[in-house]
């Protein structure tokens, strides 16, 4: 028995006419009749009982009615299997556009992207380092498929998931007297100048630092803003300023910059991923599944999805 036999049978059953079914199927009536006979032989019962042949009337037997219901279900499942296979094939050649903040590039991508490339070897991955406001704008326009930012962005259209918490660290020049301390008291910071990354580039980082300073009642001698992380590090390297930055920046610092603990722990910088709530592509599904495994996340998406395991 072949799927085409089921399609022929369903057409005849729905039209209750061999001639009409033949026209609908774009085949000759004798050929259609032969296909139905072949089906009857395979099943072993007379599915179609032709009554009053002179009037060209077709009726289904009780057996035929039961077979019709299951034949339809079989074709639905077959069509679904074909559609899913085509989806998988499409995902292998599609492009996945990911927006990110620097912490995601350091803390997330080295583990995530290799796994994606193994699971979907033909997937084209495009990563864009953009300001958070630009990422959100491009996600809303459909120019980005998923974004990694330092704030929670979700609404009726987009979902958001906390991925990781990046600790902040206190950096100061190696030659500064406080660099000899294992732990620095907050009162000792009053004579220092602090450089922070501009809120235009990282509003969440700037907010975390300013809130910490306010809550701990720290009065730095002055607070300056820098446009880039490299500029912040240069200010510290010059020996004139200290800085509060995400921990991953330590790998970029020179030997002239050191990290020291403060008497009151610094806050964390959170990294969220945001993506459309609508049925995502298989590439996004795979990304969400892999990232949930890497960071032990429990997302409603991975619980519902049975497509990729």
Domains with residue ranges and CATH for the chain: 3-91 (1.10.10.10), 93-163+271-295 (3.40.190.10), 166-269 (3.40.190.290)
- Three-state SS at 295: coil
Q: How far apart are CA 10 and CA 63, in angstroms?
A: 14
25: Cα separation from own chain's centroid? 42
Instruction: Provide the pLDDT for residue 44.
Output: 64
Residue 50 has pLDDT above 50, yes or no: no
Tokens of 68: 């019709």
Q: How far apart are CA 300 and CA 240, in angstroms?
A: 49
| CB half-sphere exposure, 78, CA atoms < 13 A | 11
- Three-state SS at 15: helix
Instruction: Provide the pLDDT for residue 247.
Output: 93
Tokens of 24: 């609908």
pLDDT classification of 304: cutoffs 50, 70, 90: very low
Tokens of 23: 């026209």
In this prediction, residues 123-152 reach a mean pLDDT of 94
> How close are the terminal C-alpha atoms of the chain, in Å?
32
> Nearest to residue 275, comparing CAs of 262, 289, 255?
289
Instruction: Provide the pLDDT for residue 72.
Output: 80
109: Cα separation from own chain's centroid? 13
> Nearest to residue 260, comparing CAs of 166, 178, 165, 175?
178
- Whole-number average pLDDT of the chain: 83
Taking CA atoms, 274 is separated from 31, 84, 126, 147, in Å, by 56, 25, 16, 5
Percent of the chain with pLDDT over 90: 50
> Nearest to residue 112, comparing CAs of 290, 302, 284?
290
- Three-state SS at 65: helix
Q: What is the pLDDT of residues 225-261, one digit of tens each?
A: 999 888 999 999 988 899 999 999 988 888 899 999 9
> Nearest to residue 65, comparing CAs of 38, 45, 37?
45
Of 17-26, 81-90, 104-113, 249-258, the range with the highest mean pLDDT is 104-113
Percent of the chain with pLDDT over 70: 81
Place of tokens 């060209």: 56
Tokens of 15: 């039209």
> Nearest to residue 308, comparing CAs of 292, 296, 295, 114?
292
> Nearest to residue 9, comparing CAs of 72, 52, 96?
72
Cβ neighbour number for residue 294 with a 10 Å cutoff: 14
Place of tokens 């306010």: 214
Asked if residue 258 lies in contact with residue 177, where contact means CB atoms within 8 angstroms, the answer is no
Instruction: Provide the pLDDT for residue 159.
Output: 93
Higher pLDDT pick, 66 / 107: 107
Burial class (CB within 10 angstroms; exposed 0-12, middle 13-18, buried 19+) of 147 = buried
> Nearest to residue 244, comparing CAs of 200, 208, 216?
208
| Weakest-pLDDT range from 4-8, 54-58, 133-137, 178-182 | 54-58
Q: What is the pLDDT of residues 172-210, one digit of tens each?
A: 999 999 999 999 999 999 989 999 999 888 899 999 999
């Amino acid at each position: 028995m072949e799927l085409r036999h089921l399609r022929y049978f369903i057409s005849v059953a729905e039209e209750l006419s061999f001639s009409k079914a033949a026209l609908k199927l774009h085949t000759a009536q004798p050929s259609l009749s032969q296909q139905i006979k072949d089906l009857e032989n395979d099943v072993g019962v007379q599915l179609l009982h032709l009554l009053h042949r002179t009037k060209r009337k077709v009726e289904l037997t009780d057996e035929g009615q039961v077979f019709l219901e299951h034949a339809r279900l079989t074709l639905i499942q077959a069509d679904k299997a074909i559609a899913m296979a085509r989806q998988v094939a499409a995902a292998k050649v599609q492009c996945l556009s990911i927006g990110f903040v620097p912490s995601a590039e350091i803390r997330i991508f080295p583990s995530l992207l290799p796994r994606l490339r193994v699971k979907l070897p033909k997937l084209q991955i495009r990563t864009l380092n953009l300001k958070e406001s630009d990422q959100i704008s491009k996600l809303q326009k459909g120019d980005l498929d998923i974004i990694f930012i330092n704030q929670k962005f979700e609404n009726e259209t987009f979902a958001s998931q906390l991925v990781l918490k990046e600790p902040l660290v206190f950096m100061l020049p190696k030659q500064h007297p406080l660099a000899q301390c294992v732990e620095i008291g907050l009162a000792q910071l009053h004579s220092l100048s602090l450089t922070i990354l501009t809120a235009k580039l990282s509003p969440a980082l700037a907010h975390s630092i300013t809130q910490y300073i306010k809550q701990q009642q720290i009065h730095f001698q002055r607070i300056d803003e820098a446009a880039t992380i490299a500029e912040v590090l240069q200010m510290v390297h010059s020996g004139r300023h200290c800085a509060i930055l995400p921990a991953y920046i330590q790998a970029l610092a020179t030997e002239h910059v050191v990290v020291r603990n403060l008497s009151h722990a610094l806050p964390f910088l959170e990294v969220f991923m945001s993506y459309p709530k609508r049925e995502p592509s298989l590439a996004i599904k795979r990304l969400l599944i892999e990232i949930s495994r890497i960071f032990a996340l429990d997302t409603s998406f991975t619980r519902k999805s049975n497509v990729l395991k």
